Structure formats: structure tokens, C-alpha cells
Structure 1
Amino acid sequence: HLHRFQKVDSPTCPCCNMANETVFHYLFQCTAHRHARDRLRSQVGRRNMATKYLFTSRSLLTPLFEFINASRRLHHIFGTI
């Protein structure tokens, strides 16, 4: 996803080098962010672990931002969110 916006040179996830980095991969698949994702899931509940809920429910934004900060994946672009 960052590659599409020319923020990184390669579409491959630099954290796991196993797949193209998409929003879906970052949030739900990347093995490098497993622990942060587990914390997110425990905060929001398994049912809410879908982009349609994570991106639209105000009550889920704080846990989502905590995941983003814990992963440190976007820190070099945005700093602490």
C-alpha cells in the first residue's frame, strides 16, 4: 500500500518479506505484528476484527492507533499517532 503512494520502493512487506504489503496484510496477516495484533484483537473482540468495523467505529480507533504505534511500521512516516 505504501508502495502505491511512493512512500517505499518495493511492494513487499519489509517486516516479514513474505507478501506484498497491503492494508489487509498489515492488519491481519503479517507475522511480524502478531503480538500487536493479538493485543488489538483482545481489546476490540474477534467480531470487530474486520476493516469495515475498525475503520468506521469511533470506539475502535484508539485500539487501532495503539496497534499502529505498537507495530512501529508507520513511525518513520508519521511519528507517533
Structure 2
Amino acid sequence: MPSKKYGALIADLPRRHANLLIQFRTNHVPLQAYMERIGKASSATCPTCGEAPETVQHYLLACPTYSLHRAVHFAPLGFSGRTMSALLNAKTSLRLLFNYVNATGRLRSAVGALIGPHSGYPDSDDDGDNT
């Protein structure tokens, strides 16, 4: 059973955003490391950089392919934008996290657009990328 704190964290999120957040927190998000673990991919290596296994930590904090996206989207968080705990547990970071996921396009085939006029996200603006 999720904690009351987690319930409060996701209370205002659309269901698919809350689902993605729990997938990130449990390492069950459709990235290469997980897909290899469940037998759906032949390799855990990151398909964009080829340097390391594509884990949640690699995707959010380390992949050189997305360094510009991280700089743009996580900059308002300062130093805490470089920690998994802050990204996945703070209400103030969730919009930035979903903006990052949306901007990279890495999970679009699995979760669709997370930000924009038809995303279901509260107070969502058109981000100019409605694909």
C-alpha cells in the first residue's frame, strides 16, 4: 500500500503521469535495462549513447545524449536536480521531470506526450510539440 505522502504527491496528477512516476521509482519503466531484464530486449545498453546500461538513473542523470535537456529542465532545481530523490519525491520537481521526459521523446511511444494541451496535466501549456 502506498504511503500517505506518496498519495499526496500524486493526488493532482493524471493517471498516466502517476503511473510513469511509480515506474521510475520502482525501476519498471520501459528503458533498455528493464526491457532486457524481462526478455524484451537483447541488450541493456543505452540506445542513444551506447556507453552504459540504460537504467532510470542513467536516463535521468547521466546519459550524455540528454545533457542539454537536463540542463534546461532541471536547472530550476539547482543541486537537488542532480539527485534521484529530489526528482522522484518532490512535488516541485514533477512538472520539470515530465517536461524532461516529454522533451527527450525517449518514452513517447510508451506513454505519449506528457505536457501539452491534450496531456491531461494540470495547467498544461502548449509546448509546441504535439506529435
| TM-score normalized with structure 2 length | 0.56
Indicate which of 62, 68, 76 corresponds to 2:101: 68
Q: Which structure ranks higher in relative contact order (CA pairs < 8 Å, sequence separation ≥ 6)? A: 2
Question: Aligned residue for 2:89?
Answer: 56
Root mean square deviation, CA, Å: 1.6
**Which 4+ runs in 1 deviate beyond 2 A?**
4-10
Q: Number of residue pairs matched?
A: 81
Instruction: From the CA coordinates, give the structure whose radius of gyration is larger.
Output: 2
2:59 and 2:106 map into 1 onto residues whose CA distance is: 9
> Gaps spanning 5+ residues in structure 2: where?
1-32, 115-131
| TM-score normalized with structure 1 length | 0.86
Closer, same or farther: CA 65–2 of 1 in aligned 2, 3 Å: same
Closer, same or farther: CA 17–33 of 1 in aligned 2, 3 Å: same
Letter in 2 for 1:66: N
